[in-house]
Structure 1
Protein backbone atom coordinates (compact mmCIF):
# COMPACT_ATOMS: atom_id res chain seq x y z
CA UNK A 1 0.00 0.00 0.00
CA UNK A 2 1.25 3.39 -0.94
CA UNK A 3 1.70 5.98 1.86
CA UNK A 4 -0.68 8.98 2.03
CA UNK A 5 0.76 12.42 2.50
CA UNK A 6 -1.51 15.20 3.78
CA UNK A 7 -1.38 18.30 1.62
CA UNK A 8 -2.05 21.96 2.62
CA UNK A 9 -5.38 21.73 0.84
CA UNK A 10 -6.43 18.78 2.98
CA UNK A 11 -5.53 20.78 6.12
CA UNK A 12 -7.62 23.76 5.00
CA UNK A 13 -10.60 21.53 4.20
CA UNK A 14 -10.26 19.81 7.54
CA UNK A 15 -10.19 23.16 9.33
CA UNK A 16 -13.25 24.35 7.47
CA UNK A 17 -15.11 21.14 8.28
CA UNK A 18 -14.23 21.42 11.96
CA UNK A 19 -15.46 25.03 12.06
CA UNK A 20 -18.67 24.06 10.31
CA UNK A 21 -19.22 21.20 12.74
CA UNK A 22 -18.70 23.54 15.73
CA UNK A 23 -20.81 26.32 14.21
CA UNK A 24 -22.67 27.65 17.32
CA UNK A 25 -19.58 27.52 19.49
CA UNK A 26 -17.51 29.34 16.87
CA UNK A 27 -20.12 32.05 16.39
CA UNK A 28 -20.41 32.58 20.12
CA UNK A 29 -16.65 32.91 20.43
CA UNK A 30 -16.45 35.42 17.57
CA UNK A 31 -19.34 37.45 19.02
CA UNK A 32 -17.69 37.55 22.45
CA UNK A 33 -14.40 38.74 20.94
CA UNK A 34 -16.23 41.43 18.95
CA UNK A 35 -18.09 42.59 22.03
CA UNK A 36 -14.87 42.81 24.02
CA UNK A 37 -13.29 44.87 21.25
CA UNK A 38 -16.33 47.17 21.10
CA UNK A 39 -16.29 47.54 24.88
CA UNK A 40 -12.59 48.42 24.85
CA UNK A 41 -13.16 50.93 22.04
CA UNK A 42 -15.94 52.63 24.03
CA UNK A 43 -13.71 52.77 27.11
CA UNK A 44 -10.89 54.32 25.08
CA UNK A 45 -13.27 56.92 23.66
CA UNK A 46 -14.55 57.72 27.17
CA UNK A 47 -10.98 58.04 28.43
CA UNK A 48 -10.20 60.36 25.52
CA UNK A 49 -13.20 62.60 26.31
CA UNK A 50 -12.29 62.72 30.01
CA UNK A 51 -8.70 63.59 29.10
CA UNK A 52 -9.85 66.47 26.87
CA UNK A 53 -12.14 67.78 29.64
CA UNK A 54 -9.31 67.55 32.18
CA UNK A 55 -6.94 69.40 29.85
CA UNK A 56 -9.51 72.15 29.25
CA UNK A 57 -10.10 72.52 33.00
CA UNK A 58 -6.35 72.65 33.63
CA UNK A 59 -5.94 75.28 30.90
CA UNK A 60 -8.73 77.38 32.43
CA UNK A 61 -7.13 77.17 35.88
CA UNK A 62 -3.72 78.08 34.48
CA UNK A 63 -5.26 81.07 32.68
CA UNK A 64 -7.00 82.22 35.87
CA UNK A 65 -3.81 81.78 37.89
CA UNK A 66 -1.90 83.63 35.21
CA UNK A 67 -4.35 86.53 35.31
CA UNK A 68 -4.18 86.67 39.11
CA UNK A 69 -0.41 86.49 38.93
CA UNK A 70 -0.28 89.28 36.40
CA UNK A 71 -2.61 91.42 38.50
CA UNK A 72 -0.51 90.72 41.60
CA UNK A 73 2.64 91.62 39.66
CA UNK A 74 1.03 94.87 38.53
CA UNK A 75 0.09 95.63 42.12
CA UNK A 76 3.68 94.90 43.21
CA UNK A 77 5.02 97.19 40.51
CA UNK A 78 2.63 99.93 41.61
CA UNK A 79 3.52 99.68 45.31
CA UNK A 80 6.75 101.74 45.05
CA UNK A 81 4.85 104.34 43.08
CA UNK A 82 2.05 104.35 45.64
CA UNK A 83 4.57 104.79 48.44
CA UNK A 84 5.98 107.68 46.49
CA UNK A 85 2.48 109.11 46.08
CA UNK A 86 1.63 108.74 49.76
CA UNK A 87 4.80 110.58 50.73
CA UNK A 88 4.63 113.11 47.93
CA UNK A 89 3.91 116.72 48.73
CA UNK A 90 2.19 117.08 45.36
CA UNK A 91 0.30 113.83 44.70
CA UNK A 92 -1.54 115.47 41.82
CA UNK A 93 1.64 116.29 39.93
CA UNK A 94 3.21 112.87 40.60
CA UNK A 95 0.14 110.99 39.33
CA UNK A 96 -0.06 113.18 36.25
CA UNK A 97 3.57 112.35 35.45
CA UNK A 98 2.94 108.58 35.77
CA UNK A 99 -0.25 108.79 33.68
CA UNK A 100 1.53 110.88 31.06
CA UNK A 101 3.90 107.98 30.33
CA UNK A 102 1.01 105.58 29.61
CA UNK A 103 -0.23 104.99 26.06
CA UNK A 104 -3.85 105.36 27.18
CA UNK A 105 -4.72 107.65 30.09
CA UNK A 106 -7.11 110.29 31.34
CA UNK A 107 -6.50 112.75 34.17
CA UNK A 108 -9.32 115.05 35.24
CA UNK A 109 -9.52 118.03 37.55
CA UNK A 110 -12.66 118.88 39.46
CA UNK A 111 -14.51 121.20 41.78
CA UNK A 112 -17.95 121.47 43.27
CA UNK A 113 -20.05 123.98 41.39
CA UNK A 114 -23.68 124.08 42.60
CA UNK A 115 -24.60 126.11 39.52
CA UNK A 116 -23.65 123.15 37.29
CA UNK A 117 -24.65 120.15 39.40
CA UNK A 118 -25.93 119.90 42.94
CA UNK A 119 -24.90 116.33 43.80
CA UNK A 120 -21.33 115.67 42.62
CA UNK A 121 -17.88 117.08 41.89
CA UNK A 122 -17.79 118.35 38.32
CA UNK A 123 -14.86 116.83 36.37
CA UNK A 124 -13.07 118.56 33.50
CA UNK A 125 -10.64 117.19 30.90
CA UNK A 126 -9.63 120.47 29.27
CA UNK A 127 -8.66 122.63 32.22
CA UNK A 128 -5.45 123.06 34.23
CA UNK A 129 -3.32 119.88 34.09
CA UNK A 130 -6.18 117.67 32.89
CA UNK A 131 -5.75 115.64 29.69
CA UNK A 132 -6.94 112.50 27.90
CA UNK A 133 -5.26 110.24 25.33
CA UNK A 134 -5.53 106.74 23.89
CA UNK A 135 -9.30 106.71 23.43
CA UNK A 136 -10.46 107.66 26.94
CA UNK A 137 -13.58 109.84 26.98
CA UNK A 138 -15.44 111.90 29.55
CA UNK A 139 -19.19 111.51 28.99
CA UNK A 140 -21.81 112.85 31.37
CA UNK A 141 -19.19 113.32 34.13
CA UNK A 142 -18.21 109.64 33.73
CA UNK A 143 -15.00 108.09 32.37
CA UNK A 144 -15.65 105.66 29.50
CA UNK A 145 -13.12 102.78 29.28
CA UNK A 146 -11.93 102.36 25.64
CA UNK A 147 -10.67 98.76 25.75
CA UNK A 148 -10.47 95.67 27.95
CA UNK A 149 -7.35 95.35 30.09
CA UNK A 150 -5.63 96.19 33.37
CA UNK A 151 -5.90 99.78 34.57
CA UNK A 152 -4.83 101.87 37.54
CA UNK A 153 -7.84 103.86 38.79
CA UNK A 154 -7.38 106.77 41.20
CA UNK A 155 -9.12 109.83 42.60
CA UNK A 156 -8.84 112.38 45.37
CA UNK A 157 -11.32 114.72 46.99
CA UNK A 158 -10.04 117.43 49.34
CA UNK A 159 -12.09 119.06 52.10
CA UNK A 160 -11.86 122.01 54.45
CA UNK A 161 -14.20 121.93 57.43
CA UNK A 162 -14.71 124.50 60.20
CA UNK A 163 -14.37 122.81 63.61
CA UNK A 164 -16.66 124.05 66.39
CA UNK A 165 -15.20 122.28 69.41
CA UNK A 166 -14.82 119.04 71.40
CA UNK A 167 -17.60 116.48 71.20
CA UNK A 168 -18.92 117.90 67.94
CA UNK A 169 -21.00 115.33 66.03
CA UNK A 170 -19.89 115.74 62.43
CA UNK A 171 -20.63 113.53 59.44
CA UNK A 172 -17.39 111.82 58.25
CA UNK A 173 -15.98 112.75 54.86
CA UNK A 174 -16.44 110.11 52.14
CA UNK A 175 -15.36 109.70 48.54
CA UNK A 176 -16.38 106.73 46.33
CA UNK A 177 -15.55 105.52 42.80
CA UNK A 178 -18.40 103.61 41.17
CA UNK A 179 -18.30 101.26 38.17
CA UNK A 180 -20.95 100.12 35.75
CA UNK A 181 -20.17 97.16 33.46
CA UNK A 182 -22.46 95.30 31.04
CA UNK A 183 -20.87 92.06 32.31
CA UNK A 184 -22.12 92.87 35.83
CA UNK A 185 -25.35 94.55 34.82
CA UNK A 186 -25.41 96.76 37.89
CA UNK A 187 -23.48 99.50 39.68
CA UNK A 188 -20.54 98.31 41.80
CA UNK A 189 -18.54 100.12 44.46
CA UNK A 190 -15.00 100.04 43.03
CA UNK A 191 -13.15 102.07 45.69
CA UNK A 192 -14.23 104.04 48.74
CA UNK A 193 -12.63 105.99 51.56
CA UNK A 194 -13.82 107.70 54.74
CA UNK A 195 -12.13 110.26 56.99
CA UNK A 196 -13.13 111.50 60.42
CA UNK A 197 -13.65 115.21 60.91
CA UNK A 198 -12.26 117.58 63.56
CA UNK A 199 -10.52 114.89 65.65
CA UNK A 200 -7.18 116.63 66.26
CA UNK A 201 -5.63 117.57 69.61
CA UNK A 202 -8.56 118.09 71.89
CA UNK A 203 -6.23 118.15 74.91
CA UNK A 204 -6.73 121.89 74.77
CA UNK A 205 -10.50 122.21 74.59
CA UNK A 206 -10.32 125.55 72.82
CA UNK A 207 -7.54 124.73 70.37
CA UNK A 208 -9.77 123.79 67.43
CA UNK A 209 -12.74 126.08 67.86
CA UNK A 210 -13.28 128.05 64.65
CA UNK A 211 -10.26 126.39 63.03
CA UNK A 212 -10.29 125.36 59.37
CA UNK A 213 -9.67 121.61 59.35
CA UNK A 214 -8.20 120.20 56.10
CA UNK A 215 -8.00 116.60 54.90
CA UNK A 216 -8.10 114.62 51.66
CA UNK A 217 -9.59 111.24 50.76
CA UNK A 218 -7.30 109.48 48.27
CA UNK A 219 -8.25 106.28 46.40
CA UNK A 220 -6.16 104.14 44.03
CA UNK A 221 -5.81 100.50 42.94
CA UNK A 222 -5.36 98.19 39.90
CA UNK A 223 -8.44 96.65 38.25
CA UNK A 224 -9.38 94.48 35.29
CA UNK A 225 -11.89 96.59 33.33
CA UNK A 226 -13.88 95.89 30.18
CA UNK A 227 -14.42 97.97 27.07
CA UNK A 228 -17.44 100.21 27.58
CA UNK A 229 -17.25 100.24 31.40
CA UNK A 230 -18.17 103.55 33.02
CA UNK A 231 -16.54 105.04 36.12
CA UNK A 232 -17.76 107.97 38.19
CA UNK A 233 -17.41 109.42 41.69
CA UNK A 234 -19.74 110.18 44.58
CA UNK A 235 -18.70 112.60 47.32
CA UNK A 236 -20.50 113.79 50.46
CA UNK A 237 -20.26 117.20 52.13
CA UNK A 238 -19.86 118.86 48.74
CA UNK A 239 -20.05 122.36 50.19
CA UNK A 240 -16.79 121.59 52.08
CA UNK A 241 -14.91 120.41 48.97
CA UNK A 242 -11.81 122.52 48.22
CA UNK A 243 -11.99 124.67 45.10
CA UNK A 244 -8.22 125.17 44.72
CA UNK A 245 -6.74 123.79 41.50
CA UNK A 246 -5.04 120.39 41.86
CA UNK A 247 -6.84 119.46 45.10
CA UNK A 248 -9.47 117.25 43.44
CA UNK A 249 -8.67 114.82 40.62
CA UNK A 250 -9.89 111.64 38.97
CA UNK A 251 -8.04 109.46 36.46
CA UNK A 252 -7.30 106.11 34.86
CA UNK A 253 -4.29 104.83 32.94
CA UNK A 254 -3.61 101.56 31.15
CA UNK A 255 -0.89 99.20 32.43
Structure 2
Protein backbone atom coordinates (compact mmCIF):
# COMPACT_ATOMS: atom_id res chain seq x y z
CA UNK A 1 0.00 0.00 0.00
CA UNK A 2 1.45 3.40 -1.02
CA UNK A 3 0.53 6.85 0.46
CA UNK A 4 1.87 10.32 -0.04
CA UNK A 5 2.92 12.75 2.75
CA UNK A 6 3.98 16.37 2.48
CA UNK A 7 7.15 17.37 4.37
CA UNK A 8 7.84 20.91 5.69
CA UNK A 9 9.51 23.23 3.26
CA UNK A 10 13.31 23.58 3.21
CA UNK A 11 14.43 26.89 4.72
CA UNK A 12 17.23 27.23 2.18
CA UNK A 13 14.87 26.83 -0.77
CA UNK A 14 12.34 29.19 0.59
CA UNK A 15 8.85 28.88 1.83
CA UNK A 16 7.46 28.51 -1.69
CA UNK A 17 9.15 25.21 -2.35
CA UNK A 18 7.94 21.91 -0.78
CA UNK A 19 9.35 18.36 -0.84
CA UNK A 20 7.08 15.34 -1.47
CA UNK A 21 8.22 12.05 0.18
CA UNK A 22 6.79 8.65 -0.86
CA UNK A 23 6.20 6.26 2.08
CA UNK A 24 5.19 2.57 1.60
CA UNK A 25 3.00 1.05 4.35
CA UNK A 26 3.01 -2.77 4.63
CA UNK A 27 -0.01 -4.71 6.02
CA UNK A 28 0.48 -6.38 9.42
CA UNK A 29 2.08 -9.84 9.30
CA UNK A 30 -0.49 -11.29 11.73
CA UNK A 31 -3.40 -10.59 9.37
CA UNK A 32 -1.76 -12.51 6.50
CA UNK A 33 -1.08 -15.50 8.76
CA UNK A 34 -4.69 -15.68 9.98
CA UNK A 35 -6.03 -15.46 6.42
CA UNK A 36 -3.74 -18.27 5.22
CA UNK A 37 -4.71 -20.57 8.11
CA UNK A 38 -8.43 -20.00 7.50
CA UNK A 39 -8.11 -20.86 3.81
CA UNK A 40 -6.13 -24.02 4.64
CA UNK A 41 -8.72 -25.22 7.16
CA UNK A 42 -11.56 -24.63 4.70
CA UNK A 43 -9.73 -26.60 1.99
CA UNK A 44 -9.11 -29.53 4.35
CA UNK A 45 -12.76 -29.64 5.44
CA UNK A 46 -13.98 -29.61 1.86
CA UNK A 47 -11.53 -32.35 0.88
CA UNK A 48 -12.62 -34.51 3.82
CA UNK A 49 -16.30 -34.19 2.90
CA UNK A 50 -15.59 -35.13 -0.73
CA UNK A 51 -13.44 -38.10 0.32
CA UNK A 52 -16.11 -39.40 2.71
CA UNK A 53 -18.83 -39.09 0.06
CA UNK A 54 -16.69 -40.96 -2.47
CA UNK A 55 -15.90 -43.77 0.01
CA UNK A 56 -19.53 -44.48 0.92
CA UNK A 57 -20.70 -44.24 -2.68
CA UNK A 58 -18.17 -46.94 -3.57
CA UNK A 59 -19.13 -49.18 -0.61
CA UNK A 60 -22.91 -49.58 -0.72
CA UNK A 61 -22.67 -53.06 0.77
CA UNK A 62 -21.35 -51.66 4.05
CA UNK A 63 -24.35 -49.39 4.51
CA UNK A 64 -26.77 -52.21 3.79
CA UNK A 65 -25.00 -54.86 5.87
CA UNK A 66 -27.67 -55.23 8.64
CA UNK A 67 -30.42 -55.65 6.05
CA UNK A 68 -28.28 -58.08 4.06
CA UNK A 69 -27.58 -60.20 7.15
CA UNK A 70 -31.26 -60.32 8.05
CA UNK A 71 -32.09 -61.64 4.57
CA UNK A 72 -29.37 -64.30 4.76
CA UNK A 73 -30.57 -65.62 8.09
CA UNK A 74 -34.25 -65.81 7.16
CA UNK A 75 -35.49 -69.26 6.06
CA UNK A 76 -38.16 -67.59 3.90
CA UNK A 77 -35.64 -66.02 1.50
CA UNK A 78 -34.46 -68.98 -0.55
CA UNK A 79 -34.65 -66.91 -3.74
CA UNK A 80 -32.60 -64.12 -2.10
CA UNK A 81 -29.89 -66.61 -1.17
CA UNK A 82 -29.79 -67.86 -4.73
CA UNK A 83 -29.48 -64.32 -6.13
CA UNK A 84 -26.69 -63.36 -3.75
CA UNK A 85 -24.74 -66.58 -4.27
CA UNK A 86 -25.07 -66.27 -8.06
CA UNK A 87 -23.14 -62.96 -7.90
CA UNK A 88 -20.34 -64.31 -5.70
CA UNK A 89 -16.99 -65.19 -7.28
CA UNK A 90 -17.06 -68.64 -5.68
CA UNK A 91 -20.38 -70.32 -4.94
CA UNK A 92 -22.10 -73.68 -4.93
CA UNK A 93 -25.79 -74.52 -4.52
CA UNK A 94 -26.92 -78.13 -4.24
CA UNK A 95 -30.37 -79.71 -4.21
CA UNK A 96 -31.16 -82.89 -2.33
CA UNK A 97 -32.15 -86.19 -3.90
CA UNK A 98 -33.29 -89.16 -1.81
CA UNK A 99 -34.69 -91.90 -4.02
CA UNK A 100 -34.02 -94.82 -1.64
CA UNK A 101 -34.70 -93.05 1.65
CA UNK A 102 -37.50 -95.43 2.62
CA UNK A 103 -34.93 -98.16 3.32
CA UNK A 104 -32.45 -98.16 6.25
CA UNK A 105 -29.58 -97.95 3.73
CA UNK A 106 -30.97 -94.78 2.18
CA UNK A 107 -28.79 -91.66 1.96
CA UNK A 108 -29.43 -88.04 1.06
CA UNK A 109 -27.52 -87.27 -2.15
CA UNK A 110 -26.56 -83.72 -3.14
CA UNK A 111 -26.69 -82.71 -6.81
CA UNK A 112 -25.16 -79.64 -8.46
CA UNK A 113 -26.86 -80.40 -11.78
CA UNK A 114 -30.38 -80.79 -10.41
CA UNK A 115 -32.99 -78.02 -10.36
CA UNK A 116 -31.33 -74.69 -9.52
CA UNK A 117 -28.02 -76.28 -8.51
CA UNK A 118 -24.66 -75.01 -9.79
CA UNK A 119 -20.98 -74.81 -8.81
CA UNK A 120 -18.28 -72.32 -9.80
CA UNK A 121 -15.22 -70.44 -8.60
CA UNK A 122 -13.39 -73.54 -7.32
CA UNK A 123 -16.09 -74.76 -4.93
CA UNK A 124 -16.91 -78.34 -5.93
CA UNK A 125 -18.91 -81.39 -4.89
CA UNK A 126 -16.77 -84.45 -4.20
CA UNK A 127 -18.03 -87.69 -2.60
CA UNK A 128 -21.20 -85.90 -1.48
CA UNK A 129 -19.10 -83.24 0.29
CA UNK A 130 -18.37 -79.59 -0.53
CA UNK A 131 -14.63 -78.90 -0.85
CA UNK A 132 -13.33 -75.39 0.02
CA UNK A 133 -10.81 -74.10 -2.59
CA UNK A 134 -8.97 -71.45 -0.53
CA UNK A 135 -8.83 -69.67 2.82
CA UNK A 136 -11.47 -67.04 3.47
CA UNK A 137 -14.87 -66.12 4.85
CA UNK A 138 -17.80 -68.20 3.60
CA UNK A 139 -21.53 -68.22 4.21
CA UNK A 140 -22.69 -71.81 4.79
CA UNK A 141 -26.39 -72.64 4.60
CA UNK A 142 -28.65 -75.67 4.38
CA UNK A 143 -32.29 -76.61 4.76
CA UNK A 144 -34.13 -79.90 5.18
CA UNK A 145 -37.90 -80.07 4.76
CA UNK A 146 -40.08 -82.74 6.34
CA UNK A 147 -43.61 -84.05 5.92
CA UNK A 148 -44.47 -86.28 8.85
CA UNK A 149 -47.69 -88.27 9.03
CA UNK A 150 -48.96 -87.90 12.59
CA UNK A 151 -51.20 -90.79 13.60
CA UNK A 152 -52.74 -91.88 16.88
CA UNK A 153 -50.16 -93.41 19.16
CA UNK A 154 -47.18 -92.24 17.09
CA UNK A 155 -46.02 -89.72 19.70
CA UNK A 156 -43.23 -87.23 19.21
CA UNK A 157 -40.98 -87.66 16.20
CA UNK A 158 -37.50 -86.08 16.57
CA UNK A 159 -36.11 -84.31 13.51
CA UNK A 160 -32.50 -83.15 13.20
CA UNK A 161 -30.25 -81.60 10.58
CA UNK A 162 -26.52 -80.92 10.92
CA UNK A 163 -23.58 -79.60 8.88
CA UNK A 164 -20.18 -81.18 9.61
CA UNK A 165 -16.71 -79.81 8.85
CA UNK A 166 -13.50 -81.78 8.38
CA UNK A 167 -10.39 -79.56 8.53
CA UNK A 168 -7.03 -80.86 7.34
CA UNK A 169 -5.26 -78.75 9.98
CA UNK A 170 -7.24 -80.44 12.78
CA UNK A 171 -7.60 -83.90 11.30
CA UNK A 172 -11.02 -84.61 12.81
CA UNK A 173 -14.60 -83.64 12.12
CA UNK A 174 -16.44 -80.89 14.02
CA UNK A 175 -20.07 -79.83 14.08
CA UNK A 176 -20.47 -76.55 12.20
CA UNK A 177 -24.26 -76.06 12.35
CA UNK A 178 -27.05 -78.12 13.85
CA UNK A 179 -30.69 -77.93 14.93
CA UNK A 180 -33.40 -80.32 16.12
CA UNK A 181 -37.19 -80.23 16.42
CA UNK A 182 -40.05 -82.48 17.40
CA UNK A 183 -42.92 -83.37 15.10
CA UNK A 184 -46.45 -84.50 15.99
CA UNK A 185 -46.52 -82.46 19.19
CA UNK A 186 -50.31 -82.01 19.18
CA UNK A 187 -53.15 -84.45 18.87
CA UNK A 188 -53.94 -85.19 15.22
CA UNK A 189 -57.05 -83.74 13.65
CA UNK A 190 -59.51 -85.66 11.54
CA UNK A 191 -57.70 -87.83 9.03
CA UNK A 192 -57.82 -86.77 5.40
CA UNK A 193 -57.00 -88.85 2.33
CA UNK A 194 -53.63 -88.20 0.71
CA UNK A 195 -52.72 -88.56 -2.94
CA UNK A 196 -48.95 -88.93 -2.63
CA UNK A 197 -48.94 -92.60 -1.58
CA UNK A 198 -48.30 -91.85 2.10
CA UNK A 199 -50.45 -93.46 4.79
CA UNK A 200 -53.61 -91.59 5.68
CA UNK A 201 -53.23 -89.29 8.66
CA UNK A 202 -52.66 -85.69 9.69
CA UNK A 203 -49.67 -84.18 7.85
CA UNK A 204 -47.11 -82.21 9.85
CA UNK A 205 -44.88 -79.93 7.77
CA UNK A 206 -41.74 -78.16 8.91
CA UNK A 207 -38.28 -77.15 7.73
CA UNK A 208 -34.99 -76.90 9.58
CA UNK A 209 -32.88 -74.05 8.25
CA UNK A 210 -29.20 -73.48 9.10
CA UNK A 211 -26.97 -70.59 8.06
CA UNK A 212 -23.94 -68.63 9.34
CA UNK A 213 -20.58 -67.12 8.33
CA UNK A 214 -17.36 -69.06 8.99
CA UNK A 215 -13.63 -68.70 8.43
CA UNK A 216 -12.75 -71.78 6.38
CA UNK A 217 -9.44 -73.06 5.04
CA UNK A 218 -8.33 -74.59 1.79
CA UNK A 219 -9.13 -78.28 1.66
CA UNK A 220 -11.88 -78.17 4.30
CA UNK A 221 -14.81 -80.50 3.59
CA UNK A 222 -18.43 -79.88 4.52
CA UNK A 223 -21.28 -82.39 4.53
CA UNK A 224 -24.69 -82.87 6.12
CA UNK A 225 -26.32 -85.42 8.39
CA UNK A 226 -30.12 -85.71 8.53
CA UNK A 227 -32.32 -88.17 10.38
CA UNK A 228 -35.85 -89.34 9.49
CA UNK A 229 -34.95 -89.59 5.81
CA UNK A 230 -38.21 -91.43 5.12
CA UNK A 231 -40.05 -88.21 6.07
CA UNK A 232 -37.79 -85.93 4.02
CA UNK A 233 -39.13 -83.87 1.11
CA UNK A 234 -36.75 -83.07 -1.75
CA UNK A 235 -39.13 -81.95 -4.49
CA UNK A 236 -39.06 -78.37 -5.86
CA UNK A 237 -35.84 -77.42 -4.08
CA UNK A 238 -37.29 -77.86 -0.59
CA UNK A 239 -34.04 -79.43 0.67
CA UNK A 240 -30.77 -77.71 -0.25
CA UNK A 241 -27.14 -77.15 0.76
CA UNK A 242 -24.78 -74.39 -0.32
CA UNK A 243 -21.72 -72.21 0.30
CA UNK A 244 -20.54 -68.92 -1.17
CA UNK A 245 -17.48 -66.78 -0.57
CA UNK A 246 -17.76 -63.30 0.99
Question: CA RMSD for the aligned pairs?
Answer: 2.6
Q: Is the 8 A contact 2:150 2:203 kept in 1?
A: yes
Match of 1:180 in 2: 166
After the TM superposition, which residues 10-159 of structure 1 pair with which residues of structure 2 at under 5 Å, given as runs? Answer: 78-82=68-72, 85-86=74-75, 88=76, 91-114=77-100, 118-159=105-146
Whether 2:153 is the aligned partner of 1:163: answer no
Ranges in structure 1 where 5+ consecutive residues have no aligned partner = 1-72
Q: Is the 8 A contact 2:156 2:185 kept in 1?
A: no
Residues 206 and 130 (structure 1), Cα distance of their counterparts in 2 relative to 1, 3 Å cut: closer
Whether 1:222 aligns to 2:230 is no
Summarize the Cα distance change of 1:245–1:177 in structure 2 as closer, same or farther, 3 Å threshold. Answer: same
Q: 2:240 aligns with which of 224, 235, 249?
A: 249
Equivalent pair of 1:123/1:141 in contact (CA under 8 Å): yes
Q: Counting strand residues as a fraction of each chain, which structure ranks higher?
A: 2
Kindly tell me the number of residue pairs found equivalent between the two proteins.
175
List alignment gaps of at least 5 residues for structure 2.
1-62, 192-199
User: Aligned with 2:81: secondary structure?
Assistant: helix
- Structure 2: how far apart are the matches of 1:168 and 1:75? 45
Looking at structure 2, the residues matched to 176 and 219 of structure 1 have their Cα atoms a distance apart, in angstroms, of 8
1:234 to 222, 225, 236: 225
Q: 1:218 to 1:237 in 2, by over 3 A?
A: same
Q: 2:165–2:221: 8 Å Cα contact kept in structure 1? A: yes
Q: 1:16-72 deviations in whole A, cap 9, x for unaligned?
A: xxxxxxxxxxxxxxxxxxxxxxxxxxxxxxxxxxxxxxxxxxxxxxxxxxxxxxxxx
Q: Contact 1:177–1:189 at 8 Å: present in 2 too?
A: yes
Residue 157 of structure 2 aligns to a residue in which SS? coil
- Describe the SS at the equivalent of 1:82: helix
Q: Report the alpha carbon displacement of residue 74 of structure 1 after superposing the two structures with TM.
A: 11
Could you state the TM-score of these two structures normalised by the residue count of structure 2? Answer: 0.65
Q: How far off its partner does 1:117 sit?
A: 9.6
Indicate the residue corresponding to 2:203 in structure 1.
212
| Structure with greater proportional helix content | 1
Contact 2:167–2:220 (CA<8 Å) still a contact in 1? Answer: yes
Aligned-pair distance for 1:168? 3.8
TM-score, normalized by length of structure 1?
0.62
2: CA distance, partners of 1:75 / 1:225: 21
